[in-house]
Amino acid sequence: MQGGNNPVYVFSSLLTQRQFREPNFAINSLVRPDPVANFQSQIGIDQVLHDFGRTDSRIKEAQIGREMTAQERRRRELEILTQTARAYFGGQLAAAAMKAAESSIASISATLEQAKSLRAAGRATDADVLAVEVEMAGAREELIRRTQQQALAMAALNNAMGQSIETMHTLTTALAAPPAAPGAIQIDRPEIRGTELAFAMATTRGDQAKAMRRPEVGVRFIAEADRQRFVTRGAANWFAAATLRWNLFDGGQSKEMAAEAASAAASAREDGKAMRSAAELQVKQADAAIAGAIARENVTGAITEQARETVRILRNRYGAGLATVTDVLRAEAALLGAETRRLAAIHDHRVARIEREAAARRLTGDSNELR
């Protein structure tokens, strides 16, 4: 709402209100008019018809930004999944090592009973029994250490899963990797996709900088109502125009923006090449780790069976007086060492398979490597 008796204001207000009459042409009315109120309402529309790609590039930039956010979220999810898988099978290894330590205690217990029986029969000495008891103490110490490692592995798994570190889980997936060999893999890392999107983003911003140098064509429409009273003594008016906006000089802003975009695009292209090369190297390293772990798994598996058979034979020979208790205890220690190395090889094989999938960023909750 406006009001006043300024001659120009009164004259224009009466015209827009369609209330100008012949008496208003009187000199006195023109020079010293009575005050007039003007209740004005306006609705305006400014619509760009063509801006030579400026709006399109902004829409494309927003779409690229949304996809970049999605790729970053995917990258974080994959990192969490990989970390959780490592922690899970680390827990499986710790549990298996603890069972191996328990089996070693059971085997040494059998040797201890044998030594006591032979001593009672006068075929062994107290030194034999004492040697086995010392070995038993060492085996129990090893079991305590393995039990602590298993508890820490469970805490690490809970930490990776975002749960309380005191939470207990039953780990059901076997430590051994699936029998099927990993097939050909295609690298699809979110980081690489992110560099591709960064290149597209820089290119789009370069297009925006170029579009800033071009004109913008549009239309403008204004609907207006002017009234002397709030709802009466007024009239409606409208105004329409075609517009052309062209910033002929921007102080070099668009030029510098285009240069910045070109530099960012070149950097993103080089980053993409470096990341793809690094990913391919990681996959090759994982392939080598898988081959090495399989070979170790085969060797340590055979050695473990041999060590187990050696313990059985030496225990029989000890009972027959053909071997010493030291021979038996040495074989027991060798069996535990071989079993520990076998479990480590199985774990390394499984983890290397996971690392291979993670290197290509194809690891999902349904991956065969997690079954």
Q: Is 185 left (phi over 0), alpha (psi -120 to 50) or beta?
A: beta
- Average pLDDT over every residue of 169-183: 78
Given a contact cutoff of 8 angstroms between Cβ atoms, the answer to whether 205 and 62 are in contact is: no
- Average pLDDT over every residue of 263-286: 88
Cα→Cα distances 121→20, 134, 315, Å: 137, 22, 16
Which amino acid is present at 132?
V
In a domain, residue 102? The reply is: yes
Adjacency order of strands within the sheet including 36-50:
2-4, 36-50, 216-227, 234-245
In a domain, residue 293? The reply is: yes
Exposed/middle/buried for 53, CB within 10 Å: 0-12, 13-18, 19+?
middle
Q: Is 299 left (phi over 0), alpha (psi -120 to 50) or beta?
A: alpha
In a domain, residue 19? The reply is: no
Look up residue 365 and give its two tokens: 């909750």
Given a contact cutoff of 8 angstroms between Cβ atoms, the answer to whether 217 and 50 are in contact is: yes
Q: pTM of the entire structure?
A: 0.73
In a domain, residue 256? The reply is: yes
pLDDT reading at 103 higher than 90: yes
Q: What is the pLDDT of residues 12-25, one digit of tens each?
A: 888 887 887 877 77
In a domain, residue 30? The reply is: no
Q: What is the pLDDT of residues 148-172, one digit of tens each?
A: 999 999 999 889 888 888 888 888 8
For 94, the domain range is 54-212+251-370
Per the DSSP assignment, residues forming a β-bridge with 235 are 226
Look up residue 86 and give its two tokens: 């490592």
SS3 content of the chain, % helix, strand, coil (to 5): 65, 10, 20
pLDDT reading at 31 higher than 90: no
Decide which of 147 and 361 is more confident: 147
Q: Provide the b/e sequence for 324-347 (b: ≥16 CB within 10 Å).
A: ebebbbebbbbbbbbbbbbbbbbb
* 187-191, 291-295, 302-306: segment of lowest average pLDDT: 187-191
Residue 182 has a pLDDT of 63
Given a contact cutoff of 8 angstroms between Cβ atoms, the answer to whether 268 and 198 are in contact is: yes
Per the DSSP assignment, residues forming a β-bridge with 239 are 222
| DSSP E strands, the chain | 2-4, 36-50, 216-227, 234-245
Q: What is the pLDDT of residues 83-101, one digit of tens each?
A: 888 899 999 999 999 999 9
Cα 152 to Cα 158: distance, rounded to the nearest angstrom: 10
In a domain, residue 310? The reply is: yes
From the list 276, 107, 253, 81, the residue with the least C-alpha distance to 162 is 81
From the list 226, 222, 233, the residue with the least C-alpha distance to 39 is 226
pLDDT confidence bin for 175, thresholds 50/70/90: confident
- Which of helix, strand or coil describes residue 169? coil
From the list 61, 73, 45, the residue with the least C-alpha distance to 238 is 45
- The CATH code of the domain that includes 306 is 1.20.1600.10
C-alpha torsion sign, points 156, 157, 160, 162: negative
pLDDT confidence bin for 304, thresholds 50/70/90: very high
In a domain, residue 200? The reply is: yes
Q: What is the pLDDT of residues 248-262, one digit of tens each?
A: 777 777 788 888 888
In a domain, residue 35? The reply is: no
pLDDT confidence bin for 181, thresholds 50/70/90: low
- Average pLDDT over every residue of 263-284: 88
Per the DSSP assignment, residues forming a β-bridge with 28 are none
- Average pLDDT over every residue of 111-140: 89
Given a contact cutoff of 8 angstroms between Cβ atoms, the answer to whether 44 and 221 are in contact is: yes
pLDDT reading at 229 higher than 90: no
Cα 363 to Cα 172: distance, rounded to the nearest angstrom: 20
pLDDT reading at 228 higher than 80: yes
- Which of helix, strand or coil describes residue 107? helix
Cα 111 to Cα 119: distance, rounded to the nearest angstrom: 12
pLDDT reading at 36 higher than 90: no
What's the number of domains the chain is made of?
1
Residue 94 has a pLDDT of 93
- Average pLDDT over every residue of 354-365: 78
Q: What is the pLDDT of residues 324-339, one digit of tens each?
A: 899 999 999 999 999 9
Which amino acid is present at 259?
A
Residue 170 has a pLDDT of 84
